[in-house]
Structure 1
């Protein structure tokens, strides 16, 4: 695409894809026979695994299933060195896929979309890209990622700090040298938990500023066993099929149903939990009992087991207590997986600051001032997370029908239908958007399915001469009510998590993820399609278009 002035004649495409992560690349591949272009803000593919290069960055889904399923030759030829892949291996896999399927020629790298405007007269989206020629398209697929819009809290005096600072999702490609330095890490969510042990091993002194303690389980990562790899490759077809009918779009090789927590004596509970703890698949720990996520009393049994593990690991009882979550049920925030996280606090060069006891007052020129003292720091690492689920879409500055912006539409609630479309924003399809299974599913598998549903719809509309598809406010309201009703029967409502937007000041509180299960979600979407796209409004092309 030529870099001409914005007044130039727009270049028209069938489809614009935003984002060259795993779902964006699959959309490009699926629509390869159409005129499709992809805009990617980074200079490489991989999405999450392009941007998040922080120390210790690693996936929490087993490598053999955290991969594409659409091409069996790809599944058979690629080799994963570890059970849980580090960032570098995942980025390498994304690059391999881009090269193998010839995707790069349609990707415009280092090109950020800074505006989308729907033209009602032509049923086209006008796509504005920073420094690029104007573009129009009949359809837009926003594959921008659920965790992409980084959150940098408004710390008082932050601009005064003279030292080095980095956000975990904008890590320098060449890394950061912590040798001999005083380092502060703010945040103990997933990125903090993964990076803290690595930083502690290099830094002269590490201060961890903890806002809310997290439940984290051992990953038990290790080199991938050849027999395990071959077992997967032999059975890929069967297991991928099972994943498509699974509540989390994943294959649970070691899941054992032990019924309710209260079907067992306290001694039996601990024995079962001990076995689950050592199963070498931390995320399955929460499925040990059937009522962990529906009963506060059952949840507390599991939570106390984890707190006891913390007390057994951390030698200082005061530090162990500060690291022990007590204000929310286990699993109601994203469960973390770690490699030596709690053990790190036994190191003599590591200090834990509980911000609930001594909050940050301000940044100074030399570091951070908390309520009790100053902490001089050479490097500050912000592991402060993201404006989850909705943030990446809002950042696109979208204007729909009648000049309504997406930010205005979502001022009080992130309305949507099927997690795919928002009323008043025709022909704009969201992947992993609010109202979809998103982060509560295995995201490559669920992303593949969503892309297939959307691209099949795009083709059908072309064949039928439909120039515009939109959803209705009534369909949005129904989907929202269903989302709320399902969430009310779980323990997610008891946590101030990014699942409900609680980490972003002023963000409307709602549970943004479809919790009914990936299998139920796909059945609903397929039924909607079979019923003639119930809840959608299809407008035939006009002669002037």
Structure 2
């Protein structure tokens, strides 16, 4: 087959060279398929390519976040810290791509702007902004939930003549903050990492906060030689534990409830939780923390006291304490030196609840209490979560159905992987996945997709489409269990941070257990109803 033709035809086209896109590419290549991965960036990494802002790092333990499909890879790579910084993660992903000779399958600088299903040929035609087109039997959008930057609708935002940045489109060249007057808009997971990382360089730093969040210490540390040796010697049991974990972590559950302890024991227990790593604040806290409001309120009171203890100015401390939600009501950030930062004389906190932004001017930001001038504005205002990237890809399925129309009132999915009316199309890591350590549940989705494609090929099925009743059953489960979700409807997990976006739940409230249950049922039935000609 001529090279040009081969370049325009593949069994599988994958969009996105992030954590799951690389995983999906590895598995498709291992299974013997011809594969082309289209990536809009000039390098691999997805979130870990674009988000190169100061302070960016994991808040899941490094060795639990990386790939588990190769023990050889596990033995070769040494993570330097419990929670690796972005440059190290980007190096890791490049190492993986080169170790398994995957780079030759990737076309960089390829932003997808159309993907159209051809019913007669049972193929997708995918096009990019630079005019490249490729046909494939299967299309897999591994575009992730955190790939589209979200800007607030603020008058005059584009009038500012200084430097402006969004964390998810941070430049490769380091930004010079020395002696600069800097504003960070937003104190979610990104803003709370950036602030402490630049506070000692800048002339002044103003953190603009709309919603206070329950930030707790990340408690990072270098991985010692002893810990490294333990990790190397225990690949199999660690993998087994992560594969069985609901959250995808190695944290040990507390094994007790709020009522099992006396008030004094609770304070002692909370102190140990405060000093635990990352997401252990959730997974190793009281077993009933999320569903027992008294337990959650007790933990919040403990955290509030910690904030008051750390932040010397009482007025600033009170602004940093959430009053409108309990723990995990919004995505909880994990921080290093965040509260301590407010004790520096050049750092100030501004509440946008008390003094909203009126407009951005050529020289700064005007709020209800006047104009402040800045040299740099950082819009740490989050993402068009979940469905943002796919809805920008121009995806058109069977009978000319546009994904943007089918999802006009919110995503309709099966397993957070497939959607009715779009044959041979999959999106691991998209809306309605689980929650926790994303690569762990995402790997389940990647494997399910590959197994389903393999099964279709082995049984001469050209067309795969999720049955209507299967999609409905998954969506019914989400509707039934949503009431038990701790997340506030004003957060990104409901799309509430994106103007005009329908406010619907974008996660899977049943978590990994429901993902496992539904997947097992599909596999046990031989994927009944998924193939053309079946009822």
Could you tell me the TM-score, scaled by structure 1's length?
0.94
- Relative to structure 1, is the Cα distance of residues 457 and 405 closer, same or farther in structure 2, using a 3 angstrom cutoff? same
Corresponding residue to 1:392 among 370, 385, 389: 389
Residue 124 of structure 1 corresponds to: 123
Report the alpha carbon displacement of residue 3 of structure 1 after superposing the two structures with TM. Answer: 12
Residue 14 of structure 2 corresponds to: 17
Matches within 5 A, 1:192-271: 192-252=191-251, 254-259=252-257, 261-271=258-268
Contact 2:12/2:136, CA 8 A, preserved across alignment: yes
Residue 539 of structure 1 corresponds to: 532
Runs of 4+ in 1 over 4 A off after TM superposition: 1-4
Residue 530 of structure 1 corresponds to: 524
Q: State the alpha-carbon separation in 1 of the partners of residues 132 and 221 from structure 2.
A: 48
Q: State the alpha-carbon separation in 2 of the partners of residues 25 and 489 from structure 1.
A: 33
Residue 358 of structure 2 corresponds to: 361
User: For 1:412-433, what per-residue CA distance to the aligned partner results, in whole angstroms no more than 9, with x for missing partners?
Assistant: 1211111110101111101112
Residue 325 of structure 1 corresponds to: 322
Gap regions ≥5 residues in structure 2: none
Matches within 5 A, 1:296-445: 296-437=293-434, 440-445=435-440
User: Counterpart of 2:531 in 1: which secondary structure?
Assistant: strand
Q: State the alpha-carbon separation in 2 of the partners of residues 298 and 500 from structure 1.
A: 25
Q: State the alpha-carbon separation in 2 of the partners of residues 515 and 241 from structure 1.
A: 24
User: For 1:478-499, what per-residue CA distance to the aligned partner results, in whole angstroms no more than 9, with x for missing partners?
Assistant: 211211222212322x452111
User: For 1:446-496, what per-residue CA distance to the aligned partner results, in whole angstroms no more than 9, with x for missing partners?
Assistant: 22221111111111111211111112333222211211222212322x452
Q: State the alpha-carbon separation in 2 of the partners of residues 518 and 251 from structure 1.
A: 15
Report the alpha carbon displacement of residue 2 of structure 1 after superposing the two structures with TM. Answer: 11
Residue 82 of structure 1 corresponds to: 81
Report the alpha carbon displacement of residue 275 of structure 1 after superposing the two structures with TM. Answer: 1.5
Could you tell me the TM-score, scaled by structure 2's length?
0.96
Q: State the alpha-carbon separation in 2 of the partners of residues 99 and 40 from structure 1.
A: 16
User: For 1:320-377, what per-residue CA distance to the aligned partner results, in whole angstroms no more than 9, with x for missing partners?
Assistant: 0101011112112221111100000111001111000000000101011001110100
Residue 283 of structure 1 corresponds to: 279
Q: State the alpha-carbon separation in 2 of the partners of residues 120 and 185 from structure 1.
A: 49
Contact 1:333/1:495, CA 8 A, preserved across alignment: no
Contact 1:216/1:337, CA 8 A, preserved across alignment: yes
Aligned residues: 531
Corresponding residue to 2:454 among 440, 454, 459: 459
Q: State the alpha-carbon separation in 2 of the partners of residues 155 and 263 from structure 1.
A: 49
Contact 2:63/2:79, CA 8 A, preserved across alignment: yes
Contact 1:465/1:540, CA 8 A, preserved across alignment: no
User: For 1:50-85, what per-residue CA distance to the aligned partner results, in whole angstroms no more than 9, with x for missing partners?
Assistant: 010000000001112221111111101111111110
Contact 1:179/1:202, CA 8 A, preserved across alignment: yes
Q: State the alpha-carbon separation in 2 of the partners of residues 179 and 107 from structure 1.
A: 38
User: Counterpart of 1:539 in 2: which secondary structure?
Assistant: coil
Report the alpha carbon displacement of residue 526 of structure 1 after superposing the two structures with TM. Answer: 2.1
* Pair 1:517-2:511 in alignment: yes
Contact 2:433/2:511, CA 8 A, preserved across alignment: no
Contact 1:247/1:520, CA 8 A, preserved across alignment: no
Report the alpha carbon displacement of residue 284 of structure 1 after superposing the two structures with TM. Answer: 1.0
Matches within 5 A, 1:90-239: 90-239=89-238
User: Counterpart of 1:208 in 2: which secondary structure?
Assistant: strand
Q: State the alpha-carbon separation in 2 of the partners of residues 459 and 117 from structure 1.
A: 23
Q: State the alpha-carbon separation in 2 of the partners of residues 458 and 367 from structure 1.
A: 53
Gap regions ≥5 residues in structure 1: none
Report the alpha carbon displacement of residue 381 of structure 1 after superposing the two structures with TM. Answer: 0.4
Q: State the alpha-carbon separation in 1 of the partners of residues 73 and 459 from structure 2.
A: 34
Report the alpha carbon displacement of residue 540 of structure 1 after superposing the two structures with TM. Answer: 6.3
User: Counterpart of 1:469 in 2: which secondary structure?
Assistant: coil
User: Counterpart of 1:289 in 2: which secondary structure?
Assistant: coil
